[in-house]
Amino acid sequence: MASKPAEVLHLASLEDRLLRICPVDKFKEGPGCRGGNRKRKNLIQLGVDPEHAYQWSRTRMGGWATAQSPILVTTITLERLRKRGYEALLTYYEKIAPHLNEPLYTRTVRTVV
């Protein structure tokens, strides 16, 4: 981790929060349901007990604050996002730049003859 640029690590943490915001916006949608009821039903489907689902569905926090709260950190995990097809920025970065993850001075030096 020490060899990765700080910008990539910072962007990865922002990306995690942004990916959690997307399903929250979808929670509000639904035929004939008000936002709170739809959120409550979706939180229950994600495995939250009904009492917490009721409390968390009535939150007045915005999407950005909700994305870092225990509401979504415990329900929409990185593993669930990965199963849905979202690829984390760090794993993508490691794929496209594997040489940047190696410790310094481990590559063999080409000798000039």
Q: H helices within the chain, ranges in order?
A: 6-27, 35-45, 50-57, 63-68, 70-73, 78-83, 89-96
> What are the angstrom distances between the C-alpha of 36 and each of 22, 58, 78, 89, 93?
16, 6, 24, 32, 38
pLDDT along the chain (113 residues), means of 10: 66 80 63 66 87 84 78 81 82 73 63 68
Say if pTM beats, i.e. exceeds, 0.85: no
Helix, coil or strand: residue 2: coil
**Domain ranges (residues) in the chain:** 6-101
Handedness of CA 34, 37, 43, 44 (dihedral sign): negative
